[in-house]
Structure 1
């Protein structure tokens, strides 16, 4: 029986009789415990939120930052961090945990969405639809056609068929619309409130609606270039943007974060910190570095972009994103595949083992709004103002002082609004700076969509003339769902020349 779709996450019987602690979601569930369909949403939700975020903050972030010129590492040292990534050795095993984990670990969300409960769990169901859509957009953006209609049916359907990627995008939009309507129109007198079971928003339903609207905005912008050749999709696109003109989005200070009770212990730390920072009990101890702390640092391209070498504008976010290693007098980069040791990840990304994890930042939302207004897709708002608010939000989140950055950068091509002929270039390039480290996978996908930032160098050690644009279906599909995946006839070149539907450029 295929583990990927035979999802029956379970929890110990003790959880039904003991006060639930958010820390419990950081511990592996008891396979001999109660089946998930016997548990109330209050027990399922914290884990359903937490487990997919681990992959998002670690593997997906790692992959994205190495596929664009954000992260480097000394690929020539003994442990050779990122050697495979920088050689572009894409196989069916390359970052296959992204597919395997997201497909499986969103199953609990589907359980909440589809299960019939005696009480009114509209809030739980609505937010589960929004949060599941967040991850399934990434599955489409990384793989193309995926199983969606048939997902998470456990033993009832072991070999799910693949849905067309456009159809999945439309289904995700519909799910978000349904979720927002469910939240807004429920009987508030009977609705079970989420409270502390919501380890993302703390039960703030208005913020969940803003997150849903912002996610829909991102989906629509991703497909914006593709709709012109598809009249039916164009009609959907126009209708959905019309509805967004009266919507609220995530604004300044409204980052979407998760914290189920991270602590300075094995398997309980913030996943980003545990993957790219320090071992438990060693936070900040540079004399006792782990391999994870040594692996990631900035590229030379990024350092020179931020220290003023490339464009004449010094960006103080550099000192928050990265910090010195022993013997360094300034932030140092390395080429992807080079033999130097770049500076380490800095305090703007690594603050403590208990730090919140980022799902979507306010700055990303503001960049999305700026793009939509600039393109005339949203009728309200000022594109330049939103763009500058996004940059300000980025500085604030990283703990950097913007100083005169906005005025200094304004007339500079590529990073400033007035100085950049194609405003989309300034938006995406600033998004690349902002999300590097926090959401690397988004920067790779946005580069594939737009080609910005321009002139990024390829790794020193690759023989490929261009970056990959997608991932290959994983080995688990070829062993467990071969009849449905084999029809795609993928090979290594597929990752470099088989575009996603929205990649029309």
Structure 2
């Protein structure tokens, strides 16, 4: 028996030694994209997945920024209107952004790998890596603006780092600005990029340069209160390098007819599926006060006759306790309709000409650049009105209103710019949430509780770290929470929010 066992063992080792040359190939999953898929094929899927999540506000475990910016209010799950979120509410949002970062890094790695690099010049390879770099920066910018201190230097760096440390936002922001400058320098606009699989710009690297510069301008102005010197320098660098200069340059992602709805916002809003998310009363009050003509394009005004654009209040009360019924409140309008009811796709804006002009107006007021703040403000409001297809006569009438015109509108430049910027951002909840915190206008509404009302100090100013991080990365998450005062609170302010 012993001889048989020895002979079997010898045979086994001989067999194994003869197979070692093909061991790696045999043990590589041909279905996995890592190292096996053309990055040109990964890019459009990665962008679509990222944009769908970024836009899809209000659903269970999805992006809650529509509630935080008070663009939208919940009609069924009204506990979320008063910031009473379910335990794992922010896990998906956090995870989606970090998964996207990992994918964009893998795309940058794969462009250098044979056979995907064959026939491409080094300039073309650099351009493809630049696309991934810009999208990675955009993801980190979203994360740190919304959560504050987040994993950055160790995030998605290695499979061996499963509990990355948290970096201070004060370190992250300057590095993102530096990286944007470097990535623009790396782009050769005369060389090819990803071509038609680049679903943003169809391979036009000039557009990626403008995107990066405009994003740098946005990030620079976020630092205007906390570090004006760095902000001023970066603002001028971005403007010199070239930013958006018309609505034709707007950076946007088109949701095509393959989607069930042209806009992911419609999947649980108004007529689409069920009446779960409505336009928030905070937003309708702002646009109603100035009789903003964009109301007719942004929303359906199916409220009561004396107040057709009737927003839903931020309250914990049930819908049965309100008088107007299921169709008595404003919800998303024609521009967000079903795919088969429009002859062109709806697009979600990442950054547009209106925002750039608002930033220029602010930069003039702060002394970062020369020029006419009123002119940039007027350009910004006009660009937004034109984007929403408001007619020229209505635009002229609107801009001449004393409560809209820069010279006569109420308040400081912060109030004037902040209020109009809030309207123009709709429905870009992430940027509305960020700029309202930074400029402090318009004032958001404290939610109404069953037994009282929250105060202005209780307005949300950041997203809490998700439960998954608290449980799976406890040492680093606890250190991050200690660094912001010891509570994983939605009312703790991020670093650049100093007012």
| Fold conserved between structures, TM > 0.5 | yes
Contact 1:348 1:399 in 2 (8 A): no
Deviation of 1:324 after TM superposition, in Å, equals 3.9
Deviations 1:383-415 (A, max 9, x none): 2222222212212222222534455555634x4
- The 1:492/1:92 distance shift into structure 2, 3 A limit, reads farther
Partners of 2:497 and 2:335 in 1: CA distance: 32
Partners of 1:91 and 1:47 in 2: CA distance: 29
Deviations 1:199-228 (A, max 9, x none): 011122212111111111111111111015
Aligned to 1:194: 194
Aligned to 1:272: 265
Please give the root-mean-square deviation of Cα atoms over the aligned residues, in Å.
2.9
Contact 1:273 1:352 in 2 (8 A): no
- 3-state DSSP of counterpart to 1:243: helix
Partners of 1:358 and 1:201 in 2: CA distance: 13
TM-score (norm 2): 0.79
Contact 2:71 2:426 in 1 (8 A): yes
TM-score (norm 1): 0.78
Contact 1:88 1:464 in 2 (8 A): no
Aligned to 1:41: 39
- Give aligned pairs, total: 437
Contact 2:263 2:337 in 1 (8 A): no
Q: Which runs of 5+ in 1 are unaligned?
A: 1-30, 75-79, 229-233, 278-285
Aligned to 1:481: 473
Aligned to 1:231: none
Partners of 2:453 and 2:303 in 1: CA distance: 33
Deviations 1:330-366 (A, max 9, x none): 3322322263441221113436364333322332222
For residues 364-375 of structure 1, what are the structure 2 equivalents within 5 Å? 364-375=355-366
- The 1:409/1:269 distance shift into structure 2, 3 A limit, reads closer
- 3-state DSSP of counterpart to 2:430: helix
Deviation of 1:37 after TM superposition, in Å, equals 2.5
Aligned to 1:64: 65
Aligned to 1:347: 334
Q: Which of 217, 227, 235 matches 1:241?
A: 235
Q: Which moved more, 1:467-476 or 1:334-343?
A: 334-343
For residues 37-436 of structure 1, what are the structure 2 equivalents within 5 Å? 37-59=35-57, 63-74=64-75, 80-81=76-77, 83-90=78-85, 93-115=88-110, 116-117=112-113, 118=117, 119=120, 120=122, 121-184=125-188, 188=190, 191-227=191-227, 234=229, 236-253=230-247, 254-259=249-254, 261-265=256-260, 270-276=263-269, 286=271, 290-291=273-274, 294-307=275-288, 310=289, 313-325=290-302, 330-337=308-315, 339=322, 340=324, 341-350=328-337, 352=339, 354-379=345-370, 381-401=371-391, 403-406=393-396, 408-410=398-400, 412-413=402-403, 415-420=404-409, 421-436=411-426
For residues 435-454 of structure 1, what are the structure 2 equivalents within 5 Å? 435-437=425-427, 439-454=428-443
Aligned to 2:17: none
Deviation of 1:298 after TM superposition, in Å, equals 2.6
Deviation of 1:245 after TM superposition, in Å, equals 4.0
Q: Which runs of 5+ in 2 are unaligned?
A: 1-28
Asked if 1:469 corresponds to 2:457, the answer is: no
Deviations 1:443-485 (A, max 9, x none): 112111121013x322222753220111111111123222211
- 3-state DSSP of counterpart to 1:35: coil
Partners of 1:412 and 1:297 in 2: CA distance: 30
Instruction: Work out which structure has the larger RCO, using CA pairs closer than 8 Å and 6 or more positions apart in sequence.
Output: 1
- The 1:245/1:200 distance shift into structure 2, 3 A limit, reads closer
- 3-state DSSP of counterpart to 1:65: helix
Query: Highest Rg: 1 or 2?
Result: 2
Contact 1:46 1:260 in 2 (8 A): no
Q: Which moved more, 1:344-353 or 1:218-227?
A: 344-353
Contact 2:255 2:346 in 1 (8 A): no
Contact 2:354 2:383 in 1 (8 A): yes
Asked if 1:460 corresponds to 2:460, the answer is: no
Q: Which moved more, 1:147-156 or 1:215-224?
A: 147-156
Contact 2:214 2:244 in 1 (8 A): yes
